Structure 1
Amino acid sequence: MEFFLDTANLDQIREVNDLGLLDGVTTNPTLMSREGGDWREQASLICDAVDGPVSLEVIGTTHEEMIKEAKDLVSFGPNVVVKIPMIPEGLKALKELTEREIKTNVTLVFSPSQALLAAKLGATYVSPFVGRLDGLGQSGMEAVDQMRTLFDNYAFNTKILVASVRHPMHVIESGLIGADVITLPYATIMQLMQHPLTDKGLAAFLADWEAFQAEQQ
């Protein structure tokens, strides 16, 4: 399973990349707005800093607007993936971008039926928002599981990119289901490497070593 970082913050991107855990980055208008400044400059810096795919999202809601923005977004680098919303006009844009061999990430997906449509039209990625589904009392992971079955049944090449991740168990459950990619907030990816017994064990080892060293003096 590939790990993407869901952020527009360059410091976070560089830190996770230094850990060797960064396979790609996903952004959206909200994340970009949090960084302030010139979003075009920020997008360019992110694309330069990341070896893997970088999802940049359109803000238009018509087919024509999305195609125009997509042509602009891909100019930021060969690793750009254009994020398209799961709406009828988005599906029209998706079909055209697939024909133009532009990589796409269909976002704001909440049901297996939506994912099926995106895969049928050749989306590179489809992003189910599991945390938002959980928040409504629905099972985000059940939706991902059904998507996995549908895609395997028909040998779709579209990758399942689990998004709206709220906690480490979303990561484990995604892996058990067989999701291709998971995009994580910085805080969640840091949580994955933490466990109180690890900290306790390391403290004990270091204390024992210090005691042993003191005996040797």
Structure 2
Amino acid sequence: MKIYLRTCSLYEVRKAGEYGLIDGIKLLPENGEDKCVATDNDTKSIICCTNGPIFVSAAGNNSEDILQQALQLLRLSPNIVISIKATHEGFKACKILADKEVSVMITDLDSTTKAIMAAKSGAAFVCFNMKKVKQKSVANFKVLAQTVKLIRYHELHASVLANISGESIDLDSVTATGVDGLEITFTGLMKFLENDS
């Protein structure tokens, strides 16, 4: 299972790297709901010290805006994966980018059906927002397990991720669903490592 650190802090990236635990970065944007507040927000340095995928958000009012922003972001590094919210326009932009062989992650998912649709539109990664899943259904781990099973059954070649930031969730239960990776904050990762139980 892969671990992707949700951060925009160079210190957090370097510190997590010392443990050899992270496989990539979900780079937090400077604005939006989950914005970057780190004082050591040095995107170029973070990109340089990260070997794995670097998920960077592209947003906009329509698919054209998303595509324009995505093309600018792709110049940052060959490791860039464009992160797009699961909206009508997001799915459209995903399809266009995937046809150009650009790696895309569809985020903010809360259902198996949307995850399958994202994979069918060409997303290389589908990421569940566990906060939304938890609000929608108490059987949140079942949703993850079903999605993993169906994506593999239909041979859709998308990795299933769970964004567990801001949630007190049993990581062992999430891992047992067979998800391909977790998006976790530095604080969440450190708390899990310090937990002796």
Task: Tell me the TM-score normalized by structure 2.
Answer: 0.90
Note if 1:116 corresponds to 2:119. Answer: no
1:1-217 aligned at under 5 Å gives the runs: 1-29=1-29, 30=32, 31-35=34-38, 42-136=42-136, 138-165=138-165, 166-167=167-168, 169=170, 171-196=171-196
Q: Which residue identity does 2:158 align to in structure 1?
A: T
- Structure ranking higher in strand proportion: 2
1: distance between equivalents of 2:115 and 2:7?
A: 23
Kindly provide the CA deviation profile for residues 112-142 of structure 1, in whole angstroms up to 9, marking residues without a partner as x.
1110101111101011011332245533222
SS of the residue aligned with 1:91? helix
Q: Which residue identity does 1:167 align to in structure 2?
A: S
Q: Radius of gyration: which is bigger? A: 1
How much does 1:85 deviate?
Answer: 1.0
How much does 1:45 deviate?
Answer: 2.3
How much does 1:161 deviate?
Answer: 1.1
Do the aligned residues in 1 keep the contact of 2:9 with 2:39 (CA within 8 Å)?
Answer: no
How much does 1:95 deviate?
Answer: 0.5
2: distance between equivalents of 1:122 and 1:193?
A: 35
2: distance between equivalents of 1:137 and 1:87?
A: 20
Kindly provide the CA deviation profile for residues 70-101 of structure 1, in whole angstroms up to 9, marking residues without a partner as x.
10001110111101111111111000100111
Kindly provide the CA deviation profile for residues 40-93 of structure 1, in whole angstroms up to 9, marking residues without a partner as x.
xx3322211211111000121311001101100011101111011111111110
Task: Tell me the TM-score normalized by structure 1.
Answer: 0.82
Do the aligned residues in 2 keep the contact of 1:81 with 1:103 (CA within 8 Å)?
Answer: yes
How much does 1:35 deviate?
Answer: 2.8
How much does 1:155 deviate?
Answer: 1.3
Over aligned residues, Cα RMSD in angstroms? Answer: 1.9
Do the aligned residues in 1 keep the contact of 2:142 with 2:177 (CA within 8 Å)?
Answer: no
Structure 2's unaligned 5+ residue stretches are none
Query: Percent of pairs identical after alignment?
Result: 22
How much does 1:152 deviate?
Answer: 1.6
Do the aligned residues in 2 keep the contact of 1:44 with 1:77 (CA within 8 Å)?
Answer: no
The answer for the alignment partner of 1:213 in structure 2 is none
Do the aligned residues in 2 keep the contact of 1:168 with 1:188 (CA within 8 Å)?
Answer: no
2: distance between equivalents of 1:91 and 1:75?
A: 22
Do the aligned residues in 2 keep the contact of 1:130 with 1:162 (CA within 8 Å)?
Answer: yes
Structure 1's unaligned 5+ residue stretches are 198-217
CA separation of 1:2 and 1:157: change in aligned 2, threshold 3 A: same
